[in-house]
Amino acid sequence: MSSATFNKIFQSANETKCRYRVMLGSAGSGKSTNVAMDYILKLSSPEYAGCSLLVVRGVEVAHLNSTFAELTGAIDRLGLNSIWDSKLNPLTIRNRTNGNSIIFRGCSDQRAIERLKSVSVPAGKIVWVWLEEATELKSTDFDIIDDRCRGKLPERHFYQLTLTFNPINSGHWIKTQLWDYESPDIFKHKSTYLDNRFIDEGYKARMLRRKELDPEGYRIYGEGEWGEVGGLVFPSVTIGDYKDKEFEQYTLGTDFGFNHSHATLLIGWCDGSPYVIREVVVTEKTTGEIIELCNKADIPKNVLMYCDSAEPDRIKEFKSAGFKAYPVSKEKNSVSNQIAWLKNRQIYIDGRCSHTQKEIQAYKWRKDPTTGEYMDEPVKFNDDCVKALIYGCEPVRKQTRIKSMEKGALGLW
Ligand SMILES: Nc1ncnc2c1ncn2[C@@H]1O[C@H](COP(=O)(O)OP(=O)(O)O)[C@@H](O)[C@H]1O
Ligand SMILES: [Mg+2]
């Protein structure tokens, strides 16, 4: 038996047999790790032979770096590698002893929803569904999934839908339809990073910094309280699978960081819109380590990389490593101009870029502490990917402006 242990706060969640298991909380409270370990244990036990798990996210490609990684990590941690097989294409995890399997789906468009509706397993039945980052889902997606979980089961088996998420928006359907709804079928659970004894000191320090710089964000991501509806800087970002999409141009954007995240983003351009298609987002890494990660992630060296101009030494290191790194020239009001420019076009993010997705969907305007009104200035916290995106857009933004003045291409890349 392995020495893996659970956080105590989740004990009641792991024991409940309610049809709906609604688990919200701050970032880093241990929800995903716990649910992954809980399902692996259940799916490994002879008692639940014939039970399979469906895992759902907004976009299917997001699974690889999140739920799939967490479930295979849980298998490792629990020392159960000898009875589980995992496969990348298509993503599947299968128990060798009892045939139980885990399958992964998204619900981003009609095709994905058809795939979701027709999902089946080689043996037994799908009795459990894990909706990770459940706020990505529409209530109609949830109804489709809920409808699937019907039909007679053996005495000891039970259907269960688990939702894990940060309570980002008090206007969300999950709040009205599940969290605020009184029913014996609904088990509700809240946790914060303070309940997670595996969290490291660096993480706690970042959270305390957030408490100071971004009190509203801290309520959601630190205290696990429902957030306010308004104030998003980019309220309608599109998430999708753009692996095979053809682009007209590419740019790179880099925001340096150590205590807060370093972010390098590869952006593809199509019809004037940016698509974030690759990301390297890490904390507490040296420039050398980051360059190594960029090489591993195939960040191209023949594409212009626009960087935060405040750190010329790090730009130089990137240059020496072969990247075409340049500082972004700062102008007056550049941040508000850059944001206004970006707000005028659709932003697309590949589902594999989980950090960028999460950050941009939480990026808010600052609130005036005295009047409570939103100001014309974003919260300066957790904005590393947004900054990298802004820098990466600079050549395109500037070119269009110059273009409109004096016709003709500039051939910036
Ligand atoms: N039971 C556990 N055993 C070991 N590490 C854990 C456990 N639970 C959480 N952690 C650690 O805490 C971090 C945050 O947990 P995670 O499940 O990602 O939080 P959440 O999903 O609530 O944001 C994980 O990356 C993992 O390193
Ligand atoms: Mg999580």
Q: Has residue 1 been placed in a domain? A: no
> Does residue 29 have its Cβ closer than 6 Å to ligand 1?
yes
Same domain, 282 and 374: yes
Does a structural domain hold residue 222?
no
Kindly give the number of the ligand 1 atom that is closest to the alpha carbon of 25.
22
- 24 Cα to the center of ligand 2, angstroms: 10
**What is d(CA 151, CA 130) in angstroms, rounded to the nearest whole number?**
19
Tokens describing residue 360? 């941009």
| Same-domain pairing of 206 and 255 | no
Rounded distance, CA 266 to CA 397, Å?
16
Token pair recorded at residue 397: 């933004």
> What's the rounded Cα separation, in Å, for the pair 99 and 114?
25
Residue to mutate, 33, 191, 199, 220, ligand 1, most ligand atoms under 8 Å from C-beta? 33
Whether residues 287 and 370 share a domain: the answer is yes
Residues 255 and 204 occupy one common structural domain:
no
| Residue with CA closest to ligand 1 atom 16 | 30
181 close to ligand 1 (CB < 6 Angstrom): no
Of 166, 195, 210, which one is at a domain's C-terminal end? Answer: 210
Containing structural domain, residue 111: 8-210
Q: Looking at the domain assignment, is residue 229 inside a domain?
A: no
31 ligand 1 Cβ < 6 A:
yes
Q: Which ligand does the CA of 10 lie closest to?
A: 1
Provide the domain count of the chain: 2
Residues 244 and 358 in one domain: yes
pLDDT in tens, the chain (413 residues): 456 799 999 999 999 999 999 999 999 999 999 999 999 999 999 999 999 999 999 999 999 999 999 999 999 999 999 999 999 999 999 999 999 999 999 999 999 999 999 999 988 999 999 999 999 999 999 999 999 999 999 999 999 999 999 999 999 999 999 999 999 999 999 999 999 999 999 999 999 999 999 998 999 999 999 998 789 999 989 999 999 999 999 999 999 999 889 999 999 999 999 999 999 999 999 999 999 999 999 999 999 999 999 999 999 999 999 999 999 987 777 888 899 999 999 999 999 999 999 999 999 999 888 898 999 899 999 999 999 999 999 989 987 544 444 333 333 43
Question: Residues with beta carbon < 5 A to ion ligand 2?
Answer: 32
Q: How far is CA 396 from CA 103, 234, 334, 388, in A?
A: 40, 19, 14, 14
Six-digit token string for 359: 């950050």
